Structure 1
């Protein structure tokens, strides 16, 4: 699922000054007169503004222009339109996790970074599952991994305490150990506090569960398996049962109603990656007691993340690959996180003192250490078929939402999910 907004986390005093830049050569022609112009196309907030300026200073002869689109949807619509047209692409294009499968389908339009990238860029830079997410099934590397969104469970400690449930981060592990325990705790919470939901939106929970599966909407041969994958139906049944039990607030994520609900006692728990913490703090205000659990149901999960690709349309493939490699190096990933909140996918960055020292006063949590641990618990990359993101956003979410809205029965919604997936997959 795509994340429409990112905000930086609260940082310890002096951290920004302590971070240092490690500049590397970019393959320019030299001379300081802008002989080569590289365009980097991104969306939302990548934290690249200062980095790109410093790259230019360290690489005379290269001028870098950032073309930033406000939303992931608009950026990727533009990207794939230009791929189809055969012109107009930037030298570096960001591709988000919800669209990487569609980019893989057009992998011939992107350079293999194994062939054109700097020799010192090796797979062991990244967490395994992040590196694998940028690879085609035949081993072509079309993207250097940028950020990730390791999932934790955020919760209203005050509401859990009022319901008689454990509320301290050191004690809530039993509630969030598995999805079974999570939904069981939701039943207890609703019984004690029927005016407040357990979670915000059924599709959000389903997506977290779904992305933990070994096989998702497609098998590794890109065959749609929505109807035959029993794990998908099991997840569906669990979420539907929770919805029917009153656990869902029925608030579509990032909608105006969802935004305003944080200042109310609308729901008690939220699946959340690190980039969401700042937004929760802003929306909820100082009077709500939000905390982050150390456990996440059934292990790890991820929501968000991008790869930097080099389209074959570029006139400067090696220079573009060098810039993409530099932007995704550990030092730059850490600095981008400080600037805008995208959490690093590089192992060295995840183990750095700078990142592990990060805290968040509002959530009263050691943010860097907790989410670095959550990142380590994410399993192998799930294969994503060509319409994976669209099935999730345009078919699954509306189907579950129709149950929450009371406009369809669970059976009707399931049939709509199956037929919509088939139609979309073609």
Structure 2
């Protein structure tokens, strides 16, 4: 609920009313011992189920209600609607990084956590690129980072062996050193495997390549760069050339056919953020345990796909208490607990050195030390790419469909025209 204007005859009366309203002004937190009810809105799995009662036990005056939504898309649509309406938002609202650009565009509707949050929740807590991505153009911190999705590469050892490629993670690394080496190896694989696909989806690779660039679809002036950005065009040319060589399985990510592809061996490699390991295990099934492997390498260095932030909307009646909850939930100790509960990979620098994380292995992937591997990959990411309003829509509604059209026979040149025209419609 938005704060209303409080009329009072004296400053003391104004302060008393503000306290009675539960600290609508960030400078007036709840009085000691005052009962405070906070709502926490999340989507999918954040691993907070056991953490909420732990926080309440340590803060007897705090009662937390979690609103948990199954799908991120509807959740974020609802969040945007409530922002526009000026009411209905939770005290702490999660935002996924793919939707962050649209939220940063409305940063005035969120509290600056660098001003109302605990003193120990400073930038040194997080990987610098994660912390910086939660700032608007003026440096306002609207979100505390939760998990991340550092990128590595997953591959099918049995399919590599059949094509005469190395299978040991260390020996495979050079194949994934650059996008050129990755696609060149893919062309060799297609020839030696009798035409089997090297990767699952052109869009999956293209998105990872674009996200590695210093400048993405929009510049910091929020103007479209797509026609002048040679990095984007180069990525397009490389991916579509690989499609023409038969390297793509032509699957739409997260479709039923894509899910089945893991079990059926429909492709040999997969762009692999930390959370993708769980997807592979679920979709490939126990019968394929030991066939999939992951290596600490990613074409072009490093990258990130996934992760979220906890924000405190200005609608909150208890912004300081909400910020304290968000800071606690994203602290190193709690990030490790969320990792243990749901596999959400930590973004806190201290958490990335925790023995619980570094010694974590997964026998599905040959007892690989997955915690250590992805911690190494997380440190390869340098700085966040600026995401202007509409960035996520361009990726989801323009470039991905255009690449799918190319996979189905459309020329790369016509597909590029589709991308440019579609992006202009979104940003005009």
Instruction: Determine the C-alpha separation between the residues in 2 that align with 1:282 and 1:72.
Output: 20
Query: Which structure has the greater CA radius of gyration?
Result: 2
Please give the alpha-carbon distance, in whole angstroms, between the structure 1 residues aligned to 2:32 and 2:257: 53
- Per-residue CA deviations over 1:335-375 (Å, capped at 9, x if unaligned) read 00111111000000001111101001110210100000000
The equivalent residue for 1:245 is 245
Q: Is the 8 A contact 1:202 1:248 kept in 2?
A: yes
Q: Which has the higher contact order (CA 8 A, sep 6+)?
A: 1
User: Is 1:308–2:310 an aligned residue pair?
Assistant: yes
TM-score normalised by structure 2 residue count = 0.91
CA contact (8 A) 1:197 1:268 kept: yes
Secondary structure of the corresponding residue to residue 99 of structure 1: helix
Aligned to 1:400: 403
Q: What is the CA-CA distance between 1:194 and the residue it aligns to?
A: 3.0
Match of 2:384 in 1: 381
| Mapped partners of 1:228, 1:163: distance in 2 | 39
Correspondence for 1:17: none
Structure-1-length-normalised TM-score = 0.92
Confirm or deny that 1:274 pairs with 2:274.
Answer: yes
Residues 216, 384 of structure 1: 8 Å contact kept: yes
For 1:320, the equivalent position in structure 2 comes to 322
Query: Who is 2:4 aligned against?
Result: none
Q: Structure 2 matches for 1:27-426, cutoff 5 A?
A: 29=31, 31=33, 35-288=35-288, 289-364=291-366, 365-406=368-409, 408-426=410-428
SS at match of 2:225: coil
Deviations 1:66-96, CA, capped at 9 Å, x for gaps: 1011111011000001111111111011111
Deviation beyond 6 Å, 4+ runs, structure 1: none
Deviation string 1:217-275 (CA, Å, 9 cap, x unpaired) is 01122111011101100000000000111000011111001111111120000001111
Distance (whole Å) between structure 1 residues aligned to residue 255 and residue 359 of structure 2: 33
Cα shift readout 1:291-312 (whole Å, capped 9, x = no counterpart): 0012111100100010100000
How far apart, in 1, do the equivalents of 2:270 and 2:81 lie? 35
Aligned counterparts of 2:172 and 2:96: Cα–Cα separation in 1: 32
Unaligned runs of 5+ residues in structure 2 are 1-28
| Structure 2 residue aligned with 1:11 | none
Aligned to 2:21: none
Aligned to 1:6: none
Q: CA deviation at 1:216?
A: 0.5
Whole-Å separation in 1 of the counterparts to 2:390 and 2:335: 29
User: What is the CA-CA distance between 1:282 and the residue it aligns to?
Assistant: 1.8
The separation in 2 between residues aligned to 1:277 and 1:29, in whole angstroms, is 46
Give the drift of 1:283: 1.2
Following TM superposition, by how much is the alpha carbon of 1:29 offset from its aligned partner in structure 2, in angstroms? Answer: 4.8
SS at match of 1:56: helix
Distance, in Å, in 2 between the alignment partners of 1:358 and 1:266 is: 29
* Aligned residues between the structures: 397
